């Protein structure tokens, strides 16, 4: 049957109860709620007991203090899991085990048999209270529904008193008016009042140490989402305002994702719906506790995701009291135990959730990391980053995955990867030049460029990082001579102490200057002669030239002996590393004679050199750029060279 042109013929809208006195919109959450994981019960569709045990242990490791482990009366497997927890001493003393049972006498008794001997147990009983279920499913009127809940609460109380005395178990009681979100709110309160009166009327203790339990848990399930989260928050606040002896009640929420969207990608699918919003607004409305699952698994469209809720708190500076520092182990446990994948865009946990492909996003993140580093060096640890609500490192993620490159990416993201992987802070115009290289490769392959792909492309383009990346020209050695005295001032490199001092002075700074003037500021024009041994297409050749410093002398040598006429248009240098391991990184842009030095949009060839000797790093940068200029063109050695 096709979709209806007028769906109002078949579907009626939810009619919220007028609630003009709501206060939750003006409230701000300042602490994490009590958490209950129902992964092993509501999130369990296919797990074996061995898988459930692995999952249970991981929930303990994360920090859950209340865990719903099964519906013991539903199957022998669920019953046995409870017994295994008891017999094998799996439950820490500070953890409460919760078990679910409907309001049926035989099933309640079987439930108590399953938990006998466990130290701390929450008996969770439910019966549906909405008009639809009363009339269609159970054929009960309002009074009969209240009596059903009250009578079976009395049985739970009696059995709790017995088992507390005979088995040393401390009990708490949770009651769910199932289908609360579809139940008339005043009537839900009426049912819960009867349940509370019955539970708190018990004379004997349900605690092993004889204490009298003075609080009851009322769980308000959005069993099926039928309205927007704000309507659910109104229902919760009305309930909290109306129930008597509010101080004796713990109000719990159990939200689902029926009003969500299914995102699918190949074999990966995920549900992102309104459960998180409904739970967060419900807490503002007065709730104390949330039931859900890690990563939101569960029947139909799934439960509220406790990872998202917990890290939402964390991002606001609120301790969630749950430890997701190792998100990869959380994902591994969930996927391997349930057989359900995690969508790559899942909040906080998806493999792409901290990743930017967009060029503008990448540029903002790159600048954000630079600003964050400066603030932290100044003592300000507050996280303030474009597009990243929390530090990926806090959940065990690396920064390498933050920026990934495809054909839509920009120069900022590519420069960030180069800086992160190689510690090279590229000049802006060199970023643009290398961006074009990466874009061409990405468009040619039609695939994402990984960090390794990008750094390899950088090394290949600028001939950096060892002999496997060498270009047609390779600097093997050099000697510089002071023409005035005709004595060598450097053999292979300038004076080491002077070079190291010069590199050290670059730390925490980026220098943009005339290279030879910055290195030899007191020397007159043509005061240096440089002789270098250069490997040219595999053949070693000696070249020499003169200038006011090493770089201009080397350029003179390349022109006079190899016919490569180039001049420097831009020069930048900075330190790499610190202390005794410091090196210089030098960047040059060379231009041929027919290019206007002032028109920086055309005709330049970039190069980079890295060396502990600052002169050597500059010469390597010149060779790097010269290789880019040459490409595959033949070298025309002058006849008089």
Cα–Cα dist 346/270, whole Å: 7
- The pLDDT value recorded for residue 260 is 62
Cα–Cα dist 312/294, whole Å: 14
Q: What ranges make up the beta strands (E) of 500-582?
A: 510-512, 528-536, 539-547, 567-576
Cα–Cα dist 226/588, whole Å: 64
The residues, ordered by sequence, that sit 6+ positions from 153 with a Cβ below 8 Å of its Cβ are 125, 173, 175, 195, 198, 199
* pLDDT one-digit tens code per residue, 379-416: 999 999 998 999 999 999 876 666 555 555 566 778 88
Cα–Cα dist 212/198, whole Å: 14
Mean confidence (pLDDT) of the chain: 87
Q: How confident is the model at residue 265 (pLDDT cuts 50, 70, 90)?
A: very low
pLDDT at residue 495 is higher than 60: no
The DSSP line for 244-277 is: SSGGGEEEEEE-B-TT-EEEEETTEEEEE-SHHH
Residue 294 parent element (H or E): none
- The pLDDT value recorded for residue 515 is 57
Cα–Cα dist 167/162, whole Å: 8
Domains and CATH numbers, the chain: 29-338 (3.20.20.70), 359-462 (no CATH), 469-632 (3.30.160.270)
Q: Are 635 and 559 in contact (CB under 8 A)?
A: no
pLDDT at residue 506 is higher than 70: no
Region of residue 8 (phi > 0: left; psi between -120 and 50: alpha; otherwise: beta): alpha
- The pLDDT value recorded for residue 350 is 85
Q: Give which of 144, 210, 202, 148 is closest to 173, Cα–Cα.
A: 202
Q: How confident is the model at residue 362 (pLDDT cuts 50, 70, 90)?
A: confident
Q: How confident is the model at residue 521 (pLDDT cuts 50, 70, 90)?
A: very low
Query: Which SS3 state, helix, strand or coil, does residue 575 take?
Result: strand
Which tokens in the block code for residue 585?
């990184």
* 525 vs 309, higher pLDDT: 309
CA distances from 372 to 357, 367, 386, 522 (A): 21, 9, 10, 39
Which tokens in the block code for residue 307?
């990872």
* pLDDT one-digit tens code per residue, 77-108: 999 999 999 999 999 999 999 999 999 999 99
pLDDT at residue 251 is higher than 90: yes
User: Which range has the worst mean pLDDT, 73-77, 226-230, 519-523?
Assistant: 519-523
Q: Map tokens 């039609």 to a residue.
A: 446
Query: Which SS3 state, helix, strand or coil, does residue 633 take?
Result: coil
Output the pTM of the full model: 0.74
Which tokens in the block code for residue 476?
């093997």
* 313 vs 447, higher pLDDT: 313
To 10 degrees, the CA torsion angle through 259, 99, 86, 73?
Answer: -110
* pLDDT one-digit tens code per residue, 101-134: 999 999 999 999 999 999 999 999 999 999 988 9
- The pLDDT value recorded for residue 641 is 57
Q: Map tokens 């991981």 to a residue.
A: 58
The DSSP line for 71-93 is: -GGG-HHHHHHHHHHHHTT-S-T
Cα–Cα dist 430/427, whole Å: 5
* 416 vs 468, higher pLDDT: 468
Which tokens in the block code for residue 541?
């050749």
Query: Which SS3 state, helix, strand or coil, does residue 99 take?
Result: strand
């Amino acid at each position: 049957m096709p979709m209806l042109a007028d769906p109002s013929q078949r579907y009626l809208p939810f009619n919220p109860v007028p609630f003009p006195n709501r206060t939750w919109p003006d409230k701000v959450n300042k602490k994490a709620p009590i958490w209950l994981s129902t992964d092993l019960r509501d999130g369990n569709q296919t797990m074996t007991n061995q898988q459930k045990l692995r999952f249970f242990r991981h929930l303990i490791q994360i920090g859950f203090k209340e865990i719903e482990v099964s519906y013991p009366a539903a199957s022998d497997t669920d019953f046995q899991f409870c017994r295994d927890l008891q017999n094998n001493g799996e439950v820490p003393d500070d953890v409460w085990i919760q078990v679910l049972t409907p309001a049926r006498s035989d099933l309640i008794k079987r439930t108590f048999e399953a938990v006998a001997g466990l130290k701390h147990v929450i008996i969770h009983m439910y019966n549906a209270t909405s008009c639809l279920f009363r009339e269609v499913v159970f054929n009960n009127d309002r009074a009969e529904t209240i009596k059903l809940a009250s009578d079976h609460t009395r049985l739970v109380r009696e059995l709790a008193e017995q088992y507390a005395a005979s088995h040393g178990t401390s009990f708490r009681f949770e009651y769910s008016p199932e289908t609360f979100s579809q139940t008339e709110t005043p009537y839900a309160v009426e049912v819960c009042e009867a349940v509370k009166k019955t539970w708190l009327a018990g004379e004997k203790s349900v605690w092993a140490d004889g204490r009298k339990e003075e609080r009851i848990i009322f769980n308000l399930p959005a069993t099926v989402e039928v309205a927007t989260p704000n309507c659910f928050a109104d229902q919760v606040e009305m309930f909290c305002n109306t129930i008597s002896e509010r101080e004796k009640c713990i109000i719990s929420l159990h939200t689902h994702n029926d009003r969500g969207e299914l995102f699918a990608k190949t074999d990966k699918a995920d549900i992102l719906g309104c459960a998180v919003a409904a739970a967060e607004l419900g807490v503002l409305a007065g709730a104390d506790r949330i039931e859900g699952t890690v990563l939101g698994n569960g029947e139909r469209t799934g439960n509220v995701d406790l990872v998202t809720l917990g890290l939402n708190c964390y991002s606001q500076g609120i301790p969630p009291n749950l430890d997701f520092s190792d998100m990869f182990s959380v994902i591994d446990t969930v996927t391997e135990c349930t057989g359900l994948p995690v969508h790559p865009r899942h909040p906080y946990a998806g493999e792409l959730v901290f990743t930017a492909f967009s060029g503008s996003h990448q540029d903002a993140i790159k600048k954000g990391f630079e600003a964050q580093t400066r603030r932290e060096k100044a003592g300000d640890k507050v996280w303030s980053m474009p597009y990243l609500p929390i530090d990926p490192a806090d959940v065990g993620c690396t920064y390498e995955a933050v920026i990934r490159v495809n054909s839509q990416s920009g120069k900022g993201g590519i420069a960030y990867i180069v800086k992160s992987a190689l510690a090279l802070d590229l000049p802006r115009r060199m970023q643009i030049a290398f961006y074009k290289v990466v874009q061409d490769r990405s468009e040619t392959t039609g695939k994402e460029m990984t960090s390794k792909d990008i750094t390899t492309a950088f090394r290949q383009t600028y001939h950096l990082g060892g002999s496997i990346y060498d270009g047609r020209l390779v600097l093997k050695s050099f000697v510089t001579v002071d023409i005035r005295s005709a004595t060598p001032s450097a053999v292979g490199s300038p004076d080491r102490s002077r070079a190291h001092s010069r590199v050290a002075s670059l730390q925490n700074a980026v220098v943009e200057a005339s290279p030879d003037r910055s290195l030899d500021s007191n020397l007159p024009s043509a005061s240096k002669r440089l002789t270098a041994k250069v490997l040219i297409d595999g053949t070693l050749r000696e070249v020499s030239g003169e200038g006011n410093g090493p770089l201009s002398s080397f350029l003179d040598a390349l022109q006079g002996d190899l016919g490569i006429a180039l001049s420097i248009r831009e020069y930048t240098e900075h330190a790499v590393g610190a202390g005794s391991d410091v090196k210089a990184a030098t960047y040059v842009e060379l231009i041929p004679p027919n290019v206007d030095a002032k028109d920086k949009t055309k005709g330049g060839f970039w190069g980079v050199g890295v060396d502990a000797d600052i002169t050597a790093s500059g010469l390597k940068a010149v060779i790097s750029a010269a290789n880019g200029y040459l490409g595959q063109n033949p070298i025309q050695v002058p006849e008089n060279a």
